[in-house]
Each structure stands twice: as structure tokens, then as C-alpha cells.
Structure 1
Amino acid sequence: MQFGTRAAGALGATAALLAAGAPASAGPPRHHLQPPPGVAAPAPPPPPAYGIVVDRITGSGCAPDTAAVTLSADNTALTVTYGDYSVELAAGQRKARKDCRVTVRVRSPRGSQYAVTAVQQRGFADIGAHVRGTFAADYRYARGRSVYEAEKRFAAGTSGVWQDNAADLRWSRCAEDRPLHIDSSITLRGRGSDESTSFLAVDSTDADAAGTTLRLNWRNCRFW
């Protein structure tokens, strides 16, 4: 009958449309490998949710809009760049000094912690006769011991890029968002000369290098 032919054709067309719109088979389920019993899983690399919060930047060496703090894309380096952290000692001067305090909080997911494993300072010095320079730094968690302390001295006649490196391993506390204070100062003392001006700076003539770099390491809290 014609009715039966039309019905069969309609059903066939409907079945073809459904088949065309149906998603392909997802295949067999995937199974994620789990570590053997008693073996802790390695800490995963930090996800993009990690970050930093700059609470405050103060001091004569880091006036507003002259210093910046950034976290690297892989979350393993915290850098501070300075635009006006330098002192000069000219004729008639006996002392020139600037300081800077940067307070930051490093964001991390619940159950993880970080450590400052190394600190690198960079700068430039051009110290004239009868003048000496000093760079001093003290980095610490709020209400805690110093992570890094340093004092670098520059004798008369020093000229060029300088660098100070330190290695350490001081873990932050779990489940705490304590500020990290980055304090530093630069000082020139002596007798300024009419012939030359002494100069000391934190930063580098290399535009791609930060004045301060803190290397970070991450892990899951052991007793979380």
C-alpha cells in the first residue's frame, strides 16, 4: 500500500537523521594510574591560580609607580624591579642613603606551601676615591625569622655591575597567608669629589634583569 510505503520512508529518513546526529562512541573508559599504597603522590606543578598580592611598597628608594613585583609564568620566581633605586654622592656630601620595603603575600591553594630557595640581588656601582658603599637586605615572613640577610660592601674604585647570591630553604607555614617583607637599603659614605660623582644602585643595566629575584619551590603540606 502507498500508505505503508510512505510510513516506511519516513521512518527510514528519521533513522538516518538520528544516526547522523549521534555522537561517536567514546570508546572504553580510561583508567587513571594511582601510586602504590603507602607511596605519596608527587606534588603537581603550581596551577595558574597561584599568584601574589602586593600589600605595600614604601621607602625613599621605591616611590609610588617606580617599583613593580611580578610572579613568573611557571610560579617559581618572584621578581622586584626598581625604576629609581639609586644614590649619588657629589662634592660637599658626606652621606647618601635610600631604602625600600616591599610587602607581598604569595597565594597558594589550600594544603600547599612554598619555600624561598635562593635570593639574587643585582645592581650597578661606580665608587669614587675616599667613598665606600653598602647594600643591606633583610627578608622575613611576618612574625618570623629572617629568610635572607645580607650586607655587601663596595670599596673605593669599584665600578661595574654587581650581584649577590644566597641559597636557603625556609618553608612557609601551611594554612597561613603571612606577608613576606622584602627590606633593603643602599648607602654611600665618604667625601664627595669635584672630579667625580659616586653612584650605587639596586637593579641592572640589563633591562631584562630584575633588581631582586626570589626563587620559589612548592610542595603539598605533609600533615594536611
Structure 2
Amino acid sequence: MSDNSFLSVEDVTSGYGMIEVLFDISMEVEKGQFVVLIGPNGAGKTTLLRSIMGIVPPQKGRVYHSGDDVTDLNPEQMLQRNISYVPQERNIFAEMSVEDNLEMGAYSYEGDPEERLELIFQVFPILKERLDQEAGTLSGGQRQMLAISRGIMMEPELLILDEPTSGLQPNLVTDVMDSIVELQEKDDMTILLVAQTDQAIREADFGYLIRSGEIVLGTEGDKLLESDEVMDLYFGG
């Protein structure tokens, strides 16, 4: 673990029961960085995020946050450390209004929720127009915007996103990615993102390529996009 490390994963092996999915994974995220995880389906990207958050406890290895060993913490305890996780499933409360969903995200926030809402409305203005609407009636893109917004209501130091653009139309993929970048710049967040888009790689300060449960490459985002391994393994050559 380097002196600048904000989040560090050291030699983590993890999986489900007797099935190992990750094998001796090591990676670091520095404070303020935008870090992307890429790789083919089934490579272990989501399992890595779940292992960091304590949803799938590592079978071996350690996870550190701000120098503290957090390997054995559960998701609630990780949340108390100001780490927000937005899973791929877009977990929103469908029968609640957009406003109520956002308020749920701020339950542990000690500051003024109105200030957080103002930031969200700057980045996702459509949500301001839909405050009284039931979340379940939003479009797919709007539901994703709401899920991300709920995750940042607590003003997290670290925001972990699992494929936030999955299943969206191409024009919405660009819009959502642009908004994530804008959020980081406005809110000075550290972001760890699983993505399937070259836009995310270009925007990243650093990126890791995962294949078959192992990190096979870690480098700056622009260099990652240019690498033969990414072109061959991820984009098909």
C-alpha cells in the first residue's frame, strides 16, 4: 500500500462458496482519482466491487481505506465510512416519488440536504422536473440518474459505480458519463467505476483490465485504451 493510497486491495481472492472468482487481486485508488475497471463479462469486476464493500467477504487478502483495514466490515459499516455504492441493478424505490428517493439517500448526511439537491439538479436537471413523479414511472436513463443521485446525497468521499450506463441507449450513455465526470469535478469525489465504454476509459485517470479474475493490466486511462490487450481482449482487436 503506497503512501498516497485512498483505497487499496491487496492480494484478494474472493468468490461465492467454493467457487473462486478473483485470484490475488491487487489495486490502488488515490484520493481524487477517477479509476475505471474494464474487462469482458464474467471477468470478476462486480465481484471485486462487492468484495470491497463487504457484500462478498474476501476469502484471502486485505482491503484498506484511508490506511485502515476494512476487510471485515459489512456494507453498513462501509457506508458509515462515507463510501457509497451504486450497483448495476438500479435499486430505487419504485413506488416512492423521486424526491422521497433522494431524501432516503441523505439519511446519514449531517449537512444541508438542499445543498446536495442543488448540485444534483445542476447535473441532472430532469430530476428537478420529476420530483413528484413515482420513480418506477421514469425512463431507464432517468432511473439510472436517480440511482446515482441517491448515492451522492450523502456527499461520499468515495463513489463506487457498477456499470452505470448498462442497458442505456447510446445517446444516454454519453449523457450519463458526462454527468458522472461533472459530478466528480464539482464535488471533488474519488470514483471507482466499472464500465463498458471507451468514453469512461478516456475520462479515467487510471484504469485496470480484469480478465478471468486477474488484473492483467493497470495504467493511465489513455494508455489503457491504446494497449493491445484492451483492443484484443475487450474491443475484439
More strand by share: 1
Q: Tell me whether the two structures share a fold, i.e. TM-score over 0.5.
A: no
More helix by share: 2
Q: Calculate the TM-score normalised by the size of structure 2.
A: 0.25
Q: Give the number of the structure whose alpha-carbon radius of gyration is greater.
A: 1
